Each structure stands twice: as C-alpha cells, then as structure tokens.
A = this chain, B = another copy of it.
C-alpha cells in the first residue's frame, strides 16, 4: 500500500500541527485583545499556549504574523451580519435582527471585539485598507437600503450610516467595556438578556414609522 493516509486526509501530524497553531492563536487572542499589539509579549503568548517562545516561532514567523492572522481571519465573520440584511425583508425586523446578531457576537466573541477595538484605537494600521474599502462599500450598500426604507415610509427617517454606527457602538460596548459594566452593575454577569431587550426596544421605537 502506498502512502494512503497522506493525500486522502490530514495525517495526525498535520492535525496536531494545526492544533498547536490554534492553541497559539487562542492564547494570542487573550493577550492582544487585552494589551494591544505593542503591549503584548511573545513570552506571554507562548506561556498561555503552554510552550516555549522558540517553539511558538516554529509555527509563526513572528509577532506580526500572529497578530495579522488573528485580525484578517475574523474580518469575514465580522461582516456576516451586515451582509445578511435582506432588502426584501420586513425593515424593522431586519434591523432588530441585525442588532440581535451583533449583540450575540459581542456576547460570544468578546475577545475578538476587543482585538478590533484595540486595532482601531491604535489607528487601524493593519485593517485600515479593509475599513476604507470592503467595509465602506458594505456600509454604503446598507445605507442605501435603509434610505430606501426610509423614503418609502417603512421606517422613520434616519441617517443610515449613523444608525449603523449606533448599532455597532451599543452592541460592541458590552464586549469592549465588559469590565466597566460588571463593576457598575455590581453583579457577576452582564445581563445580556436585559441588554437585548433594551436594545430591541430602543431601536424598534426609533424605527417605527409615524
């Protein structure tokens, strides 16, 4: 028999290798999302991934590659909810669904949210091109849909772009400022159900025509 396993599926070796890369990326997400690019150290990332620094550098060429990998591979997931807005759906339902999806992302992927927050606060050196390109086009398109709904009286007259900003802000806030919210609420959890209810009420009331 001639090297069956190799070409048909990943060998245990390559599977393990991919697993190690994932472990590194997971640890790096912890560190970068908290301390930002400059504030993160390879030793900290390696330690979190349970390996030595040279070993980490066997899987990635350097600090920058890890950071870039984390940011770029999350971009599509970040756009998905915006792309999912259906121009033919019920306007208020589409928008409140978008809000809910974004809030769920803040709840389920808070570290990714903070990674982006750090990147943008720092001036978006890595994803700046993406923000001014692909993201801008998507927002333009969404704003056009919103304007259409607005003009046909299906929703209140709103500034589409600023509405999108408000949705981003209100939802991501629960991830980026998680610590503050915990401390201000004085409870262990964040109360995502309360937040969801509140945000749905907020944006529904805003959008209802008339």
Contact = CB atoms under 8 A, between A and B. Distances in A.
Interface stretch (A3-11, A19-27, A30-38, A88-96): A30-38
A97 interface: no
Contacts of A38: 35-36, 38-40
Interface in A161-186: 161-163, 165-166, 168-170, 172-174, 176-177, 179-181, 183-186
A83 B78 CA distance: 37
* Main SS class of interface, A: helix
A132 B186 contact: yes
Nearest to A37: B39
Nearest to A115: B121
Given A166-B198, A176-B121, A199-B166, A136 B186 contact: yes
B121 A34 contact: yes
A76 interface: no
Interface residues of A, number: 56
B166 A124 contact: no
A183 B123 contact: no
Interface in A95-125: 114, 117-118, 120-124
A184 B206 CA distance: 23
Contacts of A34: 121-123
Interface string A120-140: 111110001001100110010
A156 B198 CA distance: 12
A205 B163 CA distance: 13
Contact of A122 (B35, B161, B185, B205): B35
7 tightest A-B CB contacts, nearest first: A38-B39, A169-B173, A162-B198, A132-B183, A131-B183, A169-B169, A39-B39
18 contacts: A34-B123, A39-B122, A120-B180, A121-B176, A121-B177, A121-B179, A132-B184, A136-B184, A158-B201, A159-B194, A162-B194, A162-B198, A163-B198, A165-B177, A166-B170, A166-B199, A169-B170, A202-B206
